[in-house]
């Protein structure tokens, strides 16, 4: 694992240098935040955030300036080699990365925040605030942040570098974002990697599978066993390869900042059975019907031409459905990327990925490890929020194991599909944001701090509240959605008592009251969701529908809240979908009986 380095030295004792730097002295500003006269938006935002949070900590308003001749203590924020940090001569930070270093001057002390790029400089400011000044952003909005209070703000002498352990990070409320979510993701360094690196299904954009195209050029499309043509492409067809190259070149010409073009097939199956495609399978020793090797062959052919005009640009193909497993013998070009999905219906979230007793995850882990041996750019796509269940999704302990494990075996990037379901699933989001950047952070220590700082006087029952959910999850059957059996009236009674206790202990602590009110909304939804399922299992259709409607109303009543307890549209539609079978049964039971007239001949 590549590592950042920390040299947090008390140089006053060892070398006679200054003992540190004062940013605020007894409620008065003791430093100036300096950015370049032509600073970009991210550097300006970082300076404003430093100013804002120093004020929240101490009440002092540190000035922001762009004059390099400003004397006294200075926080110098910028991109390596440019003003105002051009005098800093350390090793150049990489993309999204940064260095923080304190240096004594004749006029005071300079604290350099040096980014490898503009986002790296911005992330240096957030690192200073979080790691060295103690600010936390546990959730979006004011109730989600925790800012220590003191009138004098100092930092010790330090020399610190950091870079993301996952070179590509996509997630942390990328879905269903908004101003509050965007602020939270940025402050927790929740994005990393080059622009245009993520990808998905794209064949329909390379060649439209319209009936007109199929009629004019049937050979471009995948041959079905019955002789018809599907909506997928024939990846061995020379014209398909040529058009793929042309589309990639056009894309990079229009988006020169992008690094990757997707060659990924359309969603689903129906892949080509033509003689040429089957011959490519045979060439690589494929006997299981997988398309992985043939798609690598296709991508390599595209890249061979693309390298001539756009050297260094990449292509991506998802590791998905029948092309999930690593190749048998095809070798991907170094500019090939893949993304493999840890689907909750096929694999397991009850156990960690490398749990030796979990057969489903053992199969998934074997595929990841196989890919990392042949491909430099392997991305894992997971679900740290749930798109279908909006009750607690208690996988925090597994997140704390999975992200370090994937980093150790060489996974390049990570995508978390998450929406704003803060009432029940927010701990997952926070842990993921921390561990995708620093994969070796201590999960137990982070959780302990979270319970202490976020819940204050209600720390003990809230720790037990979340640990109870995690303990119940760990007892569930392996794989798929069998874990839904954990939602019982007994578990709701147990967790409800813990939440009651926490609310009593909160007393008149207003911020803790608001945080617990958010969780109370989540609990009420979970209780109604559980009753819907329990009544449904007993064929008590009216009670099941009533509980489902109650759960939906709880979601809809949260409109305008920050942080969002639920992404209202998704939580409403998915809960309605789960209630629908009970509603259908209820309607069938209430339908009047059809009276068949007696046949006169029967008399």
- For 266-292, how does the pLDDT look when each residue is reduced to its tens digit (9 = 90+)? 998 999 999 999 999 999 999 999 999
Q: By the 8 A CB rule, do 327 and 338 touch?
A: no
- Kindly state whether residue 598 falls inside one of the protein's structural domains: no
Shared domain for 56 and 129, answered yes or no, is yes
**Mean pLDDT, all residues of the chain:** 93
Mean pLDDT for 165-183 is 78
Statement: residue 505 has pLDDT above 90: yes
For the ranges 127-141, 160-174, 404-418, 550-564, the lowest mean pLDDT is seen at 160-174
- Kindly state whether residue 601 falls inside one of the protein's structural domains: no
Statement: residue 498 has pLDDT above 70: yes
Shared domain for 403 and 551, answered yes or no, is yes
Shared domain for 174 and 296, answered yes or no, is no
Which pLDDT score is estimated for 170? 82
Shared domain for 295 and 184, answered yes or no, is no
Statement: residue 8 has pLDDT above 50: no
DSSP element (H, E) containing 337? strand 336-341
- Kindly state whether residue 480 falls inside one of the protein's structural domains: yes
Shared domain for 23 and 70, answered yes or no, is yes
Which pLDDT score is estimated for 591? 81
Q: Which pLDDT tens digit goes with each residue over 423-461?
A: 999 999 999 999 999 999 999 999 999 999 999 999 999
Which pLDDT score is estimated for 11? 36
Q: Which pLDDT tens digit goes with each residue over 307-347?
A: 999 999 999 999 998 999 999 999 999 999 999 999 898 89
Shared domain for 208 and 149, answered yes or no, is no
Shared domain for 272 and 143, answered yes or no, is no
Cα 263 versus chain centre, distance = 23
Which long-range contacts (C-beta less than 8 Å, at least 24 apart) are formed by 468-473?
A: 468/494, 468/495, 468/498, 469/392, 469/394, 469/495, 470/394, 470/396, 470/397, 472/394, 473/350, 473/394, 473/395
Q: What is the DSSP letter of 129?
A: I
Which pLDDT score is estimated for 545? 98
Q: Which pLDDT tens digit goes with each residue over 229-267?
A: 999 999 999 999 999 999 999 999 999 999 999 999 999
Shared domain for 156 and 171, answered yes or no, is no
Q: Domain of 294?
A: 194-341
- Kindly state whether residue 118 falls inside one of the protein's structural domains: yes
- Kindly state whether residue 595 falls inside one of the protein's structural domains: no
pLDDT band at 68 (very low <50, low <70, confident <90, very high): confident
- Kindly state whether residue 472 falls inside one of the protein's structural domains: yes
Shared domain for 319 and 359, answered yes or no, is no
Statement: residue 464 has pLDDT above 70: yes
- Alpha-helical runs (H) found in 26-73: 41-58
Mean pLDDT for 470-494 is 95
Q: By the 8 A CB rule, do 53 and 135 touch?
A: yes
Last residue of some domain: 325, 341, 357?
341
Shared domain for 311 and 207, answered yes or no, is yes
* Domain count within the chain: 3
Statement: residue 594 has pLDDT above 70: no
Residue 17 is part of a domain; what is its CATH number? 3.30.379.10
Q: Is 368 strand, coil or helix? A: helix
Buried b (16+ CB within 10 A) or exposed e, 297-330: bbbbbbbebbeeebeebbbbbbbbeebbbbbeeb
∠ CA 592-597-602, nearest 5°, is 145
Angle in degrees, 0-180, between the axes of helices 118-127 and 41-58, rounded to the nearest 10: 10
- Kindly state whether residue 23 falls inside one of the protein's structural domains: yes
Which residues does 103 contact at the CB level (< 8 Å), separation at least 6? 88, 109, 110, 112
Which residues does 374 contact at the CB level (< 8 Å), separation at least 6? 326, 327, 331, 332
Which residues does 603 contact at the CB level (< 8 Å), separation at least 6? none
Q: Which pLDDT tens digit goes with each residue over 19-46?
A: 799 999 999 999 999 999 999 999 999 9
Statement: residue 173 has pLDDT above 70: no
pLDDT band at 355 (very low <50, low <70, confident <90, very high): very high
What is the spatial distance between Cα 221 and Cα 273, in angstroms, rounded to a whole number? 10
Shared domain for 426 and 499, answered yes or no, is yes
- Position with higher pLDDT, 175 vs 477: 477
Mean pLDDT for 380-406 is 96
What is the spatial distance between Cα 522 and Cα 554, in angstroms, rounded to a whole number? 9
Mean pLDDT for 53-59 is 98
Residue 232 is part of a domain; what is its CATH number? 3.20.20.80
For the four alpha carbons of 233, 238, 239 and 243, in that order, the dihedral sign comes to positive
Q: By the 8 A CB rule, do 283 and 300 touch?
A: no
Which pLDDT score is estimated for 64? 98
- Kindly state whether residue 594 falls inside one of the protein's structural domains: no
Shared domain for 112 and 168, answered yes or no, is no
């Amino acid at each position: 694992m590549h590592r950042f380095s920390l040299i947090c030295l008390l140089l006053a004792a060892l070398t006679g240098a200054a003992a540190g730097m004062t940013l605020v002295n007894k409620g008065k500003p003791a430093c100036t935040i300096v950015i370049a006269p032509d600073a970009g938006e991210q550097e300006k935002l970082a300076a404003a955030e430093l100013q804002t949070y120093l004020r929240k900590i101490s009440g002092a308003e540190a000035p922001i300036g762009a004059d390099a001749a400003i004397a006294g203590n200075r926080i110098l924020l910028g991109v390596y080699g440019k003003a105002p940090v051009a005098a800093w001569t350390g090793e150049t930070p990489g993309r999204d990365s940064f260095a923080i270093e304190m240096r004594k001057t004749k006029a005071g002390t300079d604290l350099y925040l040096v980014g490898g790029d503009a986002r790296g400089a911005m992330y240096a400011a957030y690192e200073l605030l979080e790691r060295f000044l103690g600010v936390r952003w546990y959730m979006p909005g004011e109730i989600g942040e925790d800012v220590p209070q003191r009138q004098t703000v100092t930092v010790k002498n330090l020399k610190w570098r950091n870079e993301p352990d996952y070179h590509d990070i996509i997630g942390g409320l990328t879905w269903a974002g908004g101003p509050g979510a965007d602020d939270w993701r940025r402050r927790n360094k929740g994005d990393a990697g080059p622009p245009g690196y993520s990808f998905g299904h794209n064949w329909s954009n390379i060649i439209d599978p319209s009936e007109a195209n199929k009629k004019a050029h049937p050979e471009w499309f995948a041959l079905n066993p019955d002789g018809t043509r599907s909506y997928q492409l024939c990846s061995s067809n020379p014209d398909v390869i040529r058009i793929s190259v042309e589309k990639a070149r056009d894309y990079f010409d229009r988006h020169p900042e992008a690094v990757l073009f997707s060659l990924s097939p359309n969603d689903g199956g129906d892949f080509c059975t033509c003689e040429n495609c089957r011959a490519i399978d045979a060439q690589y020793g494929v006997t299981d019907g997988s398309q992985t090797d043939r798609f690598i062959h296709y991508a390599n052919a595209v890249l061979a031409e693309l390298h001539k005009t756009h050297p260094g640009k990449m292509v991506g193909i998802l590791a998905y459905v029948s092309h999930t497993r690593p190749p048998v013998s095809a070798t991907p070009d170094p500019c090939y990327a893949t993304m493999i999905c840890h689907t909750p219906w096929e694999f397991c979230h009850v156990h960690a990925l490398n749990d030796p007793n979990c057969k489903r995850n053992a199969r998934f882990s074997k595929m990841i490890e196989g890919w990392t041996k042949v491909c430099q750019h392997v991305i894992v796509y997971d679900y740290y929020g749930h798109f279908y269940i909006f009750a607690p999704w208690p996988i925090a302990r597994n997140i704390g194991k999975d992200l370090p494990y994937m980093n150790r075996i060489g996974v390049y990037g990570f995508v978390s599909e998450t929406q704003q379901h803060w009432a029940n699933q927010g701990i997952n989001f926070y842990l993921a944001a921390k561990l995708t950047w620093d994969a070796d952070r201590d999960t137990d220590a982070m959780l302990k701090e979270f319970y202490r700082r976020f819940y204050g006087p209600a720390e003990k029952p809230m720790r037990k509240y979340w640990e109870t959910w995690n303990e119940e999850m760990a007892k569930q059957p392996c794989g798929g959605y069998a874990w839904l059996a954990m939602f019982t009236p007994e578990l709701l009674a147990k967790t409800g008592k813990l939440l009651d206790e926490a609310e009593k202990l909160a007393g008149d602590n207003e911020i803790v009251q608001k945080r617990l009110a958010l969780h109370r909304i989540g609990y009420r939804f979970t209780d109604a969701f559980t009753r819907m399922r329990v009544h449904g299992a007993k064929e008590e259709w009216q009670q099941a529908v009533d509980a489902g409607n109650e759960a939906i109303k709880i979601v809809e009543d949260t409109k305008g809240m920050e942080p969002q307890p639920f992404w209202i549209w998704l939580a409403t539609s998915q809960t309605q979908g789960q209630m629908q079978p009970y509603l259908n049964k209820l309607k069938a039971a209430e339908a009047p009986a059809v009276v068949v007239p007696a046949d006169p001949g029967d008399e």
